[in-house]
Amino acid sequence: MGYLPVVAALFWLSGGMRCYGKEIIFDFLSTPAGTVPGGWRMENGGYSATPGHWEVVIDQVPSLSGSAIADLNFQKFVQAPVLAQTARVTENEHFPMLLYRDGLCRDFTFTLKFKLVAGNVDQMAGIVFRYIDSKNYYVIRASGKDGTLRFYKYFTGLRGDPIGPKVTIPGGVWVDLKVKAEGPVFQAWINDIQVFDKPVEDHSFDKGLVGLWTKSDSVSHFASLKLDFRPLESMAEQLIGITRSKFPDLEEVTLYARRTPDDPIQVVASSQSHTIGLGATDIEKDVIENKHTYRSRNTSRVMTVTVPLEDRNGDAIAAVRIVYKGFRGESETTSLLKGFRVARYMSENMGTASLFDR
């Protein structure tokens, strides 16, 4: 992916911080200097058509956790790759952003260090979140020139009223920033000091991407990125979860589908998560393309049944494969009826959504 993410599944409370399900620590050691790491994409907000420029650069970063400002006289530094916005576009309403493409979520905690390196018009750095498009998102940003930490909402391209206090943001040194979102409630910390006396609350955007934000000609560096978030499940993944709850006797439930007509058929959701992405066999292809059904049984009475999942128009949009332990003498008709019950339950709970909707 161009960086080395350290990923851990976390489902408990740890150290007073709520963990949302997936933690990623970004390490850009494998990304060549001057390039954008894989898994990230550049966007541009505001009225300027001139794009920003993001790249990995080498900088001196604190070798220990914690604020570099608090221990400035004793802090040790090492050379390491960091993310940087280096374009010097002087237009005022110009907002270069770098978005983590797999960071679609609702609740998260995003921590990082930023350094304001240069900028004549502005010297800013921030975290963009609940990003829908370049005209609709939230941002919490620090300004070195104004000495402020502000929350803004951009809705249909219009900027809302600023929320946030005066905060000294020195240039040329690393500053810790943390942003946390839980539902419609947001809070931020600068160098472990809570910024908003009362958490910000807004209901405009329920989900979106997270990433980095700057303004105008700000040259800003970002390091020590850590994202703790709960990824949004696709409809296919949600169907697997509710089906396992509805039919607890199933040993396996797997959905095969294709996102577009040109894509291969593959596992898009399964109770066996390690199989996601595996290609379909001729059986699953036949189920989807011709709506045929299949049933097999081995000597231990374990049944495998594969039937079509139909949308409201009666079109087969996926193949449902279930595995369960049948009873002695169970007929093929009985096995297929069970498969059809599972597929019908999935279809009824999809509504009009796509399998890939989140």
Q: Can you give the pLDDT at residue 68?
A: 43
- Domain for residue 358, yes or no? no
Looking at the structure, tell me whether residues 298 and 321 fall in a common domain: yes
CA distances from 42 to 52, 54, 97, 212 (A): 8, 7, 6, 10
Looking at the structure, tell me whether residues 219 and 251 fall in a common domain: no
Q: Can you give the pLDDT at residue 10?
A: 36
Instruction: Determine the structural domain holding residue 37 and report its residue range.
Output: 6-231
CATH number at residue 106: 2.60.120.560
Q: Can you give the pLDDT at residue 100?
A: 95
**Last residue within a domain, chosen from 231, 262, 294:** 231
Return the closest-CA partner of residue 127 out of 229, 13, 11.
Answer: 229
CA–CA–CA angle 180, 132, 31 (5° rounding): 70
- Domain for residue 355, yes or no? no
Mean per-residue pLDDT, 18-35: 83
Q: How many domains does the chain have?
A: 2
Residue 313 token pair: 């128009």
d(CA 69, CA 150): 21
Taking only the tens place, the pLDDT of each residue in 312-322 is 889 999 999 99
Looking at the structure, tell me whether residues 322 and 335 fall in a common domain: yes
> For 292, how many CA atoms within 13 A lie in the half-sphere containing its CB?
9
Looking at the structure, tell me whether residues 168 and 111 fall in a common domain: yes
Q: What phi and psi values does residue 235 have, to the nearest 5 degrees?
A: -60, -40
Looking at the structure, tell me whether residues 142 and 242 fall in a common domain: no
- Domain for residue 356, yes or no? no
pLDDT above 60: residue 13: no
Looking at the structure, tell me whether residues 270 and 330 fall in a common domain: yes
Taking only the tens place, the pLDDT of each residue in 204-260 is 999 999 999 999 999 999 999 999 998 788 899 999 999 999 999 999 999 999 988
Residue 5 pLDDT class (50, 70, 90 cuts)? low
pLDDT above 70: residue 39: yes
**Last residue within a domain, chosen from 212, 231, 250:** 231
One-letter amino acid of 196 = F
Mean per-residue pLDDT, 262-272: 94
d(CA 29, CA 80): 8
Per DSSP, the three-state class of 327 is: coil
Looking at the structure, tell me whether residues 270 and 213 fall in a common domain: no
Residue 3 pLDDT class (50, 70, 90 cuts)? low
Return the closest-CA partner of residue 324 out of 305, 340, 302, 309.
Answer: 302
Q: What is the pTM of this model?
A: 0.71
Looking at the structure, tell me whether residues 152 and 246 fall in a common domain: no
Mean per-residue pLDDT, 174-185: 97
